[in-house]
Amino acid sequence: MSKNSFVQFLLYEWQVKLVCILLACCCYFIITFNSNQDRNVEVPLEVMLPANYESESLVPSSITLDINGSEDVIYLIDPALIKATADFSSVNSEGIAQKTVVLDYDEKAFRKGAITVKTVPSVVRISFKEKKTNE
């Protein structure tokens, strides 16, 4: 096959070939994204409370992690390596305060494996009142 006939082969009915390539790409992405699985695990939640206030509501001791990714990879993750914290130490008034849960883990390794991690719920709410001093 000469170079000229190869070019003619590519250009002959190019619209059909383009549609076939687009359909193949769509099928690939649909199969890839549908093969992702969810894994839910409980991890301890470290809550940093303010010095001058005490909580009126329950302080959560754990939180649920939603780990999403390829099924053969997400079950290799050790949840003990993921630290969850909510820092309320900056609270300076009574009432309900909310803070976003911050996760500490090796993001490079998770990005490489196309794994996403999020908390459920993503925000913690605690009601605070001023500490009473014994005088």
Stronger pLDDT, 134 or 85, i.e. the higher one = 85
Contact 69, 109 (CB under 8 A): no
Q: Are residues 42 and 27 in the same domain?
A: no
Specify the number of domains making up the chain: 2
Mean per-residue pLDDT of the chain: 85
Q: Are residues 30 and 72 in the same domain?
A: no
pLDDT in tens, 84-129: 999 998 888 888 999 999 998 877 777 777 788 888 888 999 998 8
- Is the model's pTM score more than 0.85? no
pLDDT for 134 beyond 80 = no
Whether residue 64 is contained in a domain is answered as yes
Contact 49, 88 (CB under 8 A): yes
Burial 18-45 (b: 16+ CB within 10 A, else e): eeeeeeeeeeeeeeeeeeeeebebebeb
Q: Are residues 23 and 42 in the same domain?
A: no
pLDDT in tens, 4-43: 787 777 778 888 888 999 999 998 888 777 777 888 999 9
Q: Are residues 18 and 62 in the same domain?
A: no
Q: Are residues 1 and 12 in the same domain?
A: yes
Distance separating alpha carbons of residues 76 and 37, to the nearest angstrom? 13
The residue assigned the tokens 């096959």 is 1
Could you list the residue range(s) of the whole structural domain that residue 74 is in? 37-130
Q: Are residues 28 and 83 in the same domain?
A: no
Whether residue 135 is contained in a domain is answered as no
Determine the pLDDT at residue 87.
92
Determine the pLDDT at residue 1.
52
| Mean predicted confidence (pLDDT) in 61-67 | 91
Which residues on adjacent β-strands are paired with residue 40?
A: 66
Q: Are residues 16 and 46 in the same domain?
A: no
What percent of the chain stands above pLDDT 70? 93
Q: Are residues 28 and 46 in the same domain?
A: no
Q: Are residues 5 and 53 in the same domain?
A: no
Q: Are residues 94 and 109 in the same domain?
A: yes
Q: Are residues 87 and 112 in the same domain?
A: yes
pLDDT for 135 beyond 60 = no
